[in-house]
Amino acid sequence: DVKVTQSSRYLVKRTGEKVFLECVQDMDHENMFWYRQDPGLGLRLIYFSYDVKMKEKGDIPEGYSVSREKKERFSLILESASTNQTSMYLCASSSGQERPEAFFGQGTRLTVV
C-alpha cells in the first residue's frame, strides 16, 4: 500500500511565524503535490514537484514556498503565516507514469491566530 504521511494532523501558529509542513511518501513516486482545501472551493494546487529539487507553481503559490531535497520528502513552507492561510493542507504523490493516480496524506489542519 502506498503511504503518504504528513507530519502533523493539527497545528496552531501565530501570525508572522514561519511554518513548515512536512510530507513523506514511501512508494518512490516522482511527483509530489501540496493542495489546500477550503469549504466551497474544493482542492486548489499550491505547488508540485516532479523530481528532486524541481518545483512548479500551482494555482495559488503566493505566500508559500516548497523544498524537495530528497525524493520521498516534500515540504511546504509558509514564510510568514497569515490568518488567511488557515486551512486544511493535503499532500499527495503519484508515479508520473501512464496512470498518475494521486495518493493523499491524512491532511494537516492549520490554524493561524
Contact footprint for another protein (CB under 8 A): 31, 33, 35, 40-45, 48, 50, 56, 58, 90, 92, 94, 96, 99-107
Task: Give me the least distance between CB of 111 and another protein, in Å please.
Answer: 14
Query: Which CB, 19 or 105, lies closer to another protein?
Result: 105
Task: Give me the least distance between CB of 53 and another protein, in Å please.
Answer: 15
Task: Give me the least distance between CB of 94 and another protein, in Å please.
Answer: 6
Query: Which CB, 14 or 99, lies closer to another protein?
Result: 99
E strand segments, 52-105: 54-57, 64-70, 73-78, 87-94, 103-104
Task: Give me the least distance between CB of 67 and another protein, in Å please.
Answer: 18
Contact at 8 Å (CB) between 9 and 1? no
* CA gap 40, 67 in Å, rounded: 29
φ, ψ of residue 38 in degrees (nearest 5): -130, 145
Would you call 83 helix, strand, or coil by DSSP?
helix
Query: Which CB, 37 or 67, lies closer to another protein?
Result: 37
Per the structure block, which three cell numbers stand in for 72? 520521498
